Structures are given as structure tokens and as C-alpha cells.
Amino acid sequence: MRFLIKGGTIVDPVAETLTESDVLVANGLIVETGKELKDPEAAVIDATGRYVCPGLLDMHVHLREPGYEYKEDIQSGTRAAAMGGFTAVACMPNTNPVADNAAVISFIKQKARHAAVGVYPIGALTKGSQGKELTEMADLKAAGAVALSDDGQPVMDAGTMYRVMQYAAMLGLTVISHCEDLSLAAGGQMHEGAVSTMLGLKGIPAAAEEVMVARDILLAEATGCRLHLAHISTEGSVRLIREAKARGIKVTAEVTPHHFTLTDEAVQGFNTNAKVNPPLRRQADVEAVKEGLRDGTIDVIATDHAPHAYYEKDVEFQYAPNGLVGLETAVGLVFTRLVQPGILTVPQAVAKLSWHPRQVLGLPGGRLTPGAVADITVIDPNLSEVVDPAKLQSKSKNTPFARWKLTGLPVMTMVNGNIVMQERRLLV
Amino acid sequence: MFWQRKDLLGLRQLTPEEINLVLDTAVPMKEIIGRKIKKTPTLRGRSVVTLFYENSTRTRSSFELAAKFLSADTVGLSASGSSVAKGESLRDTGLTLTAMGVDVVVMRHPASGAAEYLARCIPAAVINAGDGTHEHPTQALLDMFTIREKKGSLAGLKVAIVGDILHSRVARSNIWGLTKMGAEVRVVGPATLLPPDIEQMGARVYTEVEAALEGVDVVNVLRIQLERQQQGLFPSLREYSRLFGINQKRLELTAPDALIMHPGPMNRGVEIDPQVAYGNRSVINEQVTNGVAVRMALLYLLTGGEHNAISH
């Protein structure tokens, strides 16, 4: 199948350029870019007024399979990704069983062959993500794990984390750290501050995250391991990462759309869809992560897509699980909250959604150059939509953005030269 | 003015006018409690369920007596020995009670926000009898009733709340209610038992009890739980008592006619000296009586009281 994407603006996240150019795709590869391209056999896709971007990659999702298929599975999760403009996702290992061995990684890879978008599994750091014994990291890598993480289950013991990083560094694997000191966060339900005081909910202080960010930066420095800090949420964390980068430590960081958009005020009324870990923080923290995105301290935007069944969130606040679905609202939030207010340029925003996560994970792609795999996302910066949870492709509907109007939406997702989403409709 | 709300979930949402309506309605209710025959037909044919997910003696019996004095039919459900113990969700328990024709659900629950959640799930009126560390509005209303009865008005008074503010739903409801009525609220306790940013609720924060008691009109002493010491939140009951215990000497710092209150149950000799608890300024037992009156007023208002006749 041949496609000619005509009249759009190509986004180059590396050169940070916007170029009016057509793109010709054939046999799953990008053949040519340039003005006024012609190909009589190609199906023409009009991209006038739209951004033609390298395929977006969400490096932090929970696909829930195996084990929690009632929340999400690889099929439904990747359909949500396609709808959200992502051509690939990296999935966290907190499944049941935990992806702490090659068999589970292989299972995910096999299931993903029929998925709507590419799936890159992340393996566990420790067996059962219990924070004690190292996993067979070389075996995980050979099976296809692109990085390692005990996401959601922070490695509390510094000695264990030190050895994890030494071993991962030997194998050239990135360690993704969910920074949360459990002794500080213990039993916490939301950010510790005025709102938690008013609602009588136990707070999670900013220090619970920052203590671990500081620890893991020091361990990365000591071991030379490549460290990626997941879902950074506080002003202090941004400052620590900025200082670490200035000192030349191999650390990268991500922020979620909900952490650059919402504050702890979203929890008022005991809204369980705003219950997430790390918790939604203060306005000053939101401003700090936006500044971190702007000045390059924060490299990646990732969703931490965390589906939960309706009935799991339809309970008293403290009994509800943490997490929210993010794949289908991410691009809209990036454009509405970061690009339109001028915090990020379009190439910078696209870099944080495509080029940088690929660099962190050591994956190819991320630029629309001839010969590259045709993973392409087309975004219409002027298209608006009101978020309707019932229409989400994800099995779960736990979004705090219901009824939000978002402007700047993906209108085509192409994976390996096949269109999986076009004009806001799934084709898979 | 008429009562408009389906539920009573907390004092945060109430206006001063609504608070006054409850307190004014409680005045004739208290008169009923003083009668030899404590029964009026006001709520005849109405049903009240007390749904308690936490142990409670005084709040539960206070609500049940309040309902019975008004001739409502009452049923008491506890977390043990009911579907609750079998893991039924709160929504389903609420819907089941609704299907049985209940008019008012009085609920105590260990989770903050549980009352608000239940109120969204069911059409019946919900009265929050304490939810986690969030609110305990009927306790604060009875505290305010007691203060108003003794002092004539709430505006301009200084009220000190002493103890474990962090875990206290009584403190939170009192702060919302008293500040709305124009009183000054001071909270004092160990730094580890003061919630962050509580001044944003309108309270003044102290860690030195002497400074907090200076010139106050009311001292509301909270129960300190030994469990908090075991959690490492303060070193010992001995040190707590030395730093924050309310005794005769400390009472000299207050206004001469200051009231002593305690929501109960008391740890005599820890947060409050027995001399103070039983002294002539203590209104602790009157609080209990007023609790029944305030709860009668709320049951009356929430079941559409403005259409019933009541002797004022």
C-alpha cells in the first residue's frame, strides 16, 4: 500500500523545524519527503493545515495484561493508544504475574503481534517487584524488554537499588524509577497540603518523592547507570534533576499530562478519578514542571495510563485505587495546555512525545527521514473535541477530564505504513 | 428561612443562616427532652437507620434517642453482623436501605468523604455522624449550641481547640462552623498532630498551650489516643500531658468565665485534669444533652420540617 500525505507541515523534533512538505510512504517505509510529490498509485491523504509528526511513543502505560484484563488488555490498550495518536507504547511490568522473567515478556510480545500499535515491554527490576532479589536482566533484555522498572513498587532499600543499577548499567539497560519513599507516603491518599487538611485525607508530602529522586540521582552517579525518573510531580524534584543534569549525570525525566494540568483542587468533592500516585500537587508544582518542560529539564511527556474498572473507582475515596487513563487525552492536553500558551513549540512538544522517549529507551525512529519505518502521527492543531468518557477506546473510563474541551488532536495514526486511526475513527 | 438541603454532610458547605436555623430549631427540642413524657408525634411514620462502620456509644445512642423522642421508627446497623461484613459496597448497602423505604440514613464511617459518597448514591437524606478525619458536623453543632446557650452569641468569641487536630473531624467541623459564625478559633497541639496549612481553614495555629489559652472564652479539649503515641507521633502520654494537658493552673490564662468542653470519651489525667473536667466551668455533660436536641432538630429539618407544626 502506498500513501501520499500531502500539504502538511513536517515536524522535525531534532532540528526543531517545521517544513511544509509532502511524505510518500510505500511498503511500510518512508520513501521520500519534499514539496509537490506525485505518485499516481498512492492513496492521497490531505494534511493541509496539519502537523505531520514522527510517530508518538508513550513510554509509560499499564496495559494490564496478563492478569487484569477486566481493566484493560493489550488489544484495548493499544486501540486507545492509536486513538490518542501513539504509534507505540512501552508497558510497565506490574501485571499478574509480574513481568520479571522472559516468559512474561515473550507472552506480551506475542500478544502484541495483533495489537493496534507497537508494544515495548518493560521488565521488572526485582523479582515480583518485591525490592529484594535482582531479576534475570540479561534474559529479560534478550526476550525484548526495553528498560527495567518496579513502577508502583519503589525499591525502598538503597543497597538493593545500588546493585540493581550496577547490574543494569553492565547490560546497558535504563532503570526507570518510580520515586516514592514509602515511609513518608505511608497510607497517603493525596498531596499533603491545605486540601488534604480540609478533606481529612492523609497526605503524601512532596518530600516523599524528592527524597527518592535525590537518592536515585546519587546512585546513578555512583554506578554510571542510565536513570529515568518516572512521573515527576514536584518543584523540588525538578530542581534536583536540573542540578543533576548540570553536573553531567545520566538522568532523564518525564511528566504526565495530569501533573502539568491539574492541582490537588481536583480532588475536592472526593473525586476518585483524581486519585493518582504521585498525587496531583500544588499550583507552584504545576508551574515548576511546566518550567522544567520548557527549559529541557524534563525530557519526556508520558501518560502513566492506568485503567481501573468503574466499580473499583465507585467507592469511598480511600478504598479507590490510584491511577487514571491518559492515552486518549494526552495530545489534546499537550496542545491545549503547553503549545497554545507558548510553553513549548510544536517541535519541542513532539520531541517530548516521540524523539526523547525513543532516546531514553534506545529505540530507532523519531524522525521522518527516507528509509525510516512509516510510524507517523498527524495532528490538527485547530480541531476541538469535548472529552466523553463513554467514547474512550480504553476498557476503563477513569478520567478526570470528562467534559473538558481540548483543542489540537491527533487525526491520523500510521503504524508500519498502515493507517490505524483516521479522522478520529479507528480502522483496526 | 427553610432548610433546603437533602443531607447534612459537613459544616464547610453550610451558611451562617443555615447554622442558625439548626441551632434555633434545637431550642424547642431541648425543651422536649426536659419533659417527663419525652415524646412528640412529629416524625411518626418516618424511618431512620443508624449505619455505623465504627464503634460509637454516645453518638449512636444520641441519634437513636433523638429519633425515638420524635416518634420515628429506628433501625441500627453495625459493620459486624450485617452485609457490610460480607464485603458489600457502600453504594449497594445504601440502595438496599433505600429499597426498604428508609427516609434518613445516619452514618459513621472510617473513610473521609464516605457520607458525601453515600449521599450521591441514594435519594434518602444522609446525616454524617463522623467520616474518617473529615467532618463530624453534629458534634460541632452541639458544641456551638452549648456555647451559644451559655454565652448568648458566637460572634467575637475566642475558642481554643486543644490536642490531636490532625486526626480530629471534630476540630475540622468546629473550625468551619465557628469561623462562619464570627468566632476566632485557635488550634494547639504537638507539631506532629497539626495538619499542614490548617490556617487556610481560618484557624490560628499554636504549639504552645499557654499562648493559645490566653484570654479565650472556650477551651475544647480533644481526646488523645494512645494509638498515636504508638505510631510515633508523640513520645509519651506523660510528656503530652505536661505540654498540652488542661489543668487548673493553665485555666488561669483564659477569660475568667471560660467554658470547658470535651467531645468525649475523656482520658482523665491525660488531656484533661479531673478537677477541670468536673469543675464549675465544665459543660461536658450539657454537651451530651444538647447533642440529642441538635440531632432532633436535624432529623426534623431533613425530613421536611418546615411543613410540620412545632411549638416555638
Residues A292 and A176 in one domain: yes
Chain B contact residues (CB < 8 Å to A): 12, 89-91, 109, 111-114, 116-117, 131-135, 169, 172, 195-198, 200-201
Nearest CB partner across the interface for B117, out of A194, A202, A316: A316
Tens digits of residue pLDDT in A44-58: 999 999 999 999 999
Residues B112 and B145 in one domain: no
How many domains in chain B?
A: 2
Tens digits of residue pLDDT in B76-89: 998 765 556 568 89
C-alpha cell at B155: 460572634
Contacts of B17 (CB under 8 A, 6+ apart): B1
Cα of first residue to Cα of last residue in chain B, in angstroms, is 15
Average pLDDT over residues B266-276: 95
pLDDT band at B310 (very low <50, low <70, confident <90, very high): very low
- Amino acid A1: pLDDT: 87
A129: closest CA of chain B, how far (Å): 27
Q: Is the pLDDT of residue B311 over 60?
A: no
Domain boundary among A361, A379, A405: A361
Give the integer Cα–Cα distance in Å for A105 and A27: 28
Looking up residue A250, the CATH number of its domain turns out to be 3.20.20.140
C-alpha cell at A220: 546513578
Residues B153 and B132 in one domain: no
Give the integer Cα–Cα distance in Å for A221 and B201: 43
How many domains in chain A?
A: 2
- Amino acid A212: pLDDT: 98
pTM for the whole structure: 0.95
- Mean pLDDT for chain B? 94
CB contact under 8 A, B89 and A203: no
Give the integer Cα–Cα distance in Å for B83 and B3: 33
Active site residues of A: 304
State yes or no: A231 annotated in a binding site.
yes
- The answer as to whether B4 is a domain residue is no
Residue B172 and residue B162 in contact, taking contact as beta carbons nearer than 8 Å? no
Q: Which domain holds residue B34?
A: 16-136+289-304
- Amino acid B1: pLDDT: 77
Residues B267 and B215 in one domain: yes
Tens digits of residue pLDDT in B47-84: 999 999 998 889 999 999 999 999 999 999 987 655 56
Give the integer Cα–Cα distance in Å for A283 and A262: 8
Which residue, among A349, A192, A175, has the nearest Cα to A255 in the 3D structure?
Answer: A349
Low-confidence stretches of chain A (pLDDT < 50) are none
B165: closest CA of chain A, how far (Å): 10
Residues B26 and B67 in one domain: yes
Residues A387 and A317 in one domain: no
Residues B142 and B255 in one domain: yes
The most distant pair of C-alpha atoms in chain B lies apart, rounded to whole Å, by 56
Residues B111 and B235 in one domain: no
- Amino acid B312: pLDDT: 41
Domain boundary among A361, A386, A410: A361
Tens digits of residue pLDDT in B13-28: 999 999 999 999 999 9
**Cβ contacts (< 8 Å) between B193 and chain A: which residues?**
none
Give the integer Cα–Cα distance in Å for A83 and A113: 18
Residues A149 and A280 in one domain: yes
Cα of first residue to Cα of last residue in chain A, in angstroms, is 16
C-alpha cell at A144: 525484548
Tens digits of residue pLDDT in A325-369: 999 999 999 999 999 999 999 999 999 999 999 999 999 999 999
Nearest CB partner across the interface for B197, out of A194, A199, A269: A194
| CA A183, chain centre distance (Å) | 27
Average pLDDT over residues B268-279: 95
| A-B Cβ pairs (cutoff 8 Å, strict) | 68
C-alpha cell at A131: 525490592
Q: ipTM above 0.90?
A: yes
Tens digits of residue pLDDT in B186-204: 999 999 999 999 999 999 9
Q: In what order do the strands lie in the sheet with A9-12?
A: A17-20, A9-12, A51-54, A376-386, A405-415, A418-422, A425-426
Q: Which domain holds residue A390?
A: 2-52+371-426
State yes or no: A39 annotated in a binding site.
no
Residues A114 and A191 in one domain: yes
Query: Burial, B4: exposed, middle or buried (Cβ in 10 Å; 0-12, 13-18, 19+)?
Result: exposed
- The answer as to whether A116 is a domain residue is yes
CB contact under 8 A, A317 and B197: no
- The answer as to whether B1 is a domain residue is no
Nearest CB partner across the interface for A270, out of B116, B195, B200: B116
CB contact under 8 A, B113 and A199: yes
Residues A397 and A386 in one domain: yes
Residues B165 and B188 in one domain: yes
Domain boundary among A305, A330, A361: A361
Residues B25 and B56 in one domain: yes
Tens digits of residue pLDDT in B141-171: 999 999 999 999 999 999 999 999 999 999 9
Residues A220 and A129 in one domain: yes
Looking up residue B23, the CATH number of its domain turns out to be 3.40.50.1370
- Amino acid B304: pLDDT: 84
Residues B162 and B278 in one domain: yes
Cell 519527503 sits on residue: A33
